[in-house]
Structure 1
C-alpha cells in the first residue's frame, strides 16, 4: 500500500487518484460557487481550514499541475462575464472577497482534490488522503480476491476439460450406436411399408373375390327359380 508521504511527493501517484473527487464529500461538505462547478481560493481555504495565504503558496508552487486539473484564473472580460453569469453583483456569494477585483482563481473539484494531496499541514487534507489510500487498499484486496476466484474457476474449468476429453471416446461410441440404430430403424420402416403395400393388395383381392361370390350367388338363385318353373 503506498504511503501518505509518497502521495505528497509523487506527482505520478497523485495523477492516479485525482479523478476520485468523491473523497472530498466523504470527509467534509465542499461548498461550490453558484455555478455549481468551481470553488474560489477562499472556499478552498475554508474547506481545508487553513489561511488563504497557504492555498496561494500551494497554487504558486504547483500551478502547472493544478491547471492541468481545471484550475484557472479569470481576468478582465472573462472575469466580468463569469461574475455576470454566476455571481450576484449585489451581494458576495461567499462573503470573503470584494466585488471589485482584478482576477479570480477558480478551482474545479479535481483541482481541490489535487490540493488535498499537496497540503501537508491540514487535518482535513490528511483525512482526504487517508480516505484515498484506504479505498485504494480496499480495491487492491478486492482485485486480489477476484483474482483468486478467477484462478479457482480456471482450475475448475481445467478439470471439466479433462473430463470432457475422457468422455469423448464414450460419446463417439454412443454416436456410432445411434447411427446403427437409425439404420436398423430405416430398414424396419421399409419392411413395414412393404407389408402395408402387400396388405393393400390382399384387401383389393378380397374385394374382387367378394364381388365374384356375389355374382355366383345370383346365378345360382336364378338357376333354382328356372327349375321350379
Structure 2
C-alpha cells in the first residue's frame, strides 16, 4: 500500500484515487456553490483551513493536473453566464443576501469535488488535507484486506473444484462402463418384451383352441347320449 509521501509525490497514484470524492465529506463538510458542483478558491481555502494564497500556489504548480480533474477559469461572457445562472438558482434575490455566491470579478477560478480532492493530495500545510490522505489510505487498506480475504476464498474454491475435477476424471471410465451396462440391459429388456408379447399371442391362440376342443367334446357327448338305447319294456 502506498504511503502518504508517495501520494504527495506521484501523480499516477493520485489519479488512481481520484474517484473517492466521498472521503471529503467524511473529514469535513464541503460547502458548494448553488449549482452543487463548484466551489471558489476561497471555499477551498476555508475547507482546508489555510489562506487563499496557499491554495493558489498549489493550483499554479499543478494546474495541468487539476485541469484534468475539473479546474475551471471563467472570464468574459462565460463568467457573466455563470453569474446569471447562480442568480437564477438563488431565486433572483441578489448577491448581497448570499455570501457564498461568487462576487463579480474579472475572472473566477472554480473547483469541483475532484479538484478539491486533488488539492488534498497535494497540500502539505493543512491538517485537514492530511486527514483526507489518511482516510484515503486507510480505505484502500480496508479494501485490500477484503480483496485478499476474497482472493483467499476464491483460491480455496478453485482448489476444491480442482479436486472435484480429478474425481470426475476418475469416475469417467466407471460411468462409461455403467452406461454400457445400462445400454445392454435396455437391449435385453427389449428382447424380453418381444418374447413376452409373442408368448401372450401364442397363449391367446391356445386358449382359442382349447375353447374349440371343449365345444367339440360337448358335441360328441351330446351325440353319444342320443345313440344310447333306452330302457327295455317287460
Q: CA deviation at 1:75?
A: 1.2
The question of whether the paired residues in 1 share the 8 Å contact of 2:48 and 2:127 is answered with yes
In 1: Cα distance, 2:151 partner to 2:79 partner: 51
Normalised to the residue count of structure 1, the TM-score between the two structures is: 0.87
SS in 2 for 1:121: coil
Q: Which residue of 1 aligns with 2:181?
A: 177
For these two proteins, the number of residue pairs brought into alignment is 224
1:124 is aligned to 2:128: yes
The question of whether the paired residues in 1 share the 8 Å contact of 2:83 and 2:102 is answered with no
Q: Which residue of 2 aligns with 1:25?
A: 25
1:83-142: CA deviation from partner (whole Å, max 9, x where unpaired): 111234612576267632111111111111000001101111100000111111122222
Normalised to the residue count of structure 2, the TM-score between the two structures is: 0.85
SS in 2 for 1:45: helix
Q: Which runs of 4+ in 1 moved over 6 A?
A: none
Residue number among 169, 193, 211 corresponding to 1:165 in the alignment: 169
The question of whether the paired residues in 2 share the 8 Å contact of 1:71 and 1:107 is answered with yes
**Could you say if the C-alpha distance between residues 179 and 160 of structure 1 is closer, same or farther in structure 2, counting changes exceeding 3 Å?**
same
Q: Which residue of 2 aligns with 1:60?
A: 60
The question of whether the paired residues in 2 share the 8 Å contact of 1:34 and 1:93 is answered with no
1:195 is aligned to 2:195: no
RMSD of equivalent CA atoms: 2.5
5+ residue gaps, structure 2, are none
**Could you say if the C-alpha distance between residues 4 and 86 of structure 1 is closer, same or farther in structure 2, counting changes exceeding 3 Å?**
same
5+ residue gaps, structure 1, are none
Q: CA deviation at 1:146?
A: 2.0
